[in-house]
Chains A and B, each alone.
Chain A
Amino acid sequence: NAGVTQTPKFRVLKTGQSMTLLCAQDMNHEYMYWYRQDPGMGLRLIHYSVGEGTTAKGEVPDGYNVSRLKKQNFLLGLESAAPSQTSVYFCATRQGQNTEAFFGQGTRLTVV
């Protein structure tokens, strides 16, 4: 039982490159979230999903896209990376509204 697993853990990109971050969960949770964490700014929601095949925008969605083709996987894509997207990205899942959220271990992304 791995819980919530993010791939990769670290990545360095050049400006303009694209990449996809994978969040995989074996908890059978409906809700999945992508956050970015920057110093002094807490956790800011990028996109989220309330079930397979659904996605919605969060607070800071620009420059990112997501997909939830399977219930257990939530993908975050950067089509053309920018230095402003340098951050630590966390995936989180929870069973429903007002329940505990479980986080992945984070992905440290640097865009140069």
Chain B
Amino acid sequence: GENVEQHPSTLSVQEGDSAVIKCTYSDSASNYFPWYKQELGKRPQLIIDIRSNVGEKKDQRIAVTLNKTAKHFSLHITETQPEDSAVYFCAASLLWGNQFYFGTGTSLTVIP
């Protein structure tokens, strides 16, 4: 199966700074890479996703980049705000797979 590694496990940034979370995957057949945000006590919710036929995708302050050759993808949050504080999970899904595999999560704290 797929192995997804996520770093860092915790991240603190000052409000207004950027935050970057990185994930690597092991199976070159993976082609779908979603990112989920989980606020304290809440359910994970999709914030952005990317498929292997594109290298970058943006949605306002959030962007995801994908390097298929190196098998890693990253989440970029610009102009961070206190409400961005949460746990972020990356995931990877194989082209013909029924499962998707999650990273271990990054706890982001934005300091006002």
Chain A residues with a Cβ under 8 A of chain B: 31, 33, 35, 40-45, 48, 50, 56, 58-59, 90, 97-98, 100-101, 103-106
**Which of B14-22, B41-49, B77-85 is the interface stretch?**
B41-49
Q: Which residue of the partner chain, among A42, A48, A98, A106, contacts B89 with CB atoms under 8 Å?
A: A42
Q: Which 8 A-B pairs have the closest CB atoms?
A: A98-B32, A42-B104, A103-B43, A43-B102, A42-B102, A100-B46, A42-B105, A103-B44
> For A41, what are the chain B residues with a Cβ–Cβ distance below 8 Å?
104
Contact across chains for A97 and B97 when beta carbons are under 8 A apart: yes
* Chain A proximity of B49: nearest CB distance (Å): 7
- Given known contacts A42-B104, A97-B98, is B31 in contact with A90 (CB within 8 Å)? no
A-B contact pairs, 11 of them (CB 8 A): A31-B98, A43-B89, A44-B102, A50-B98, A90-B43, A97-B95, A97-B98, A98-B31, A98-B95, A100-B49, A104-B43
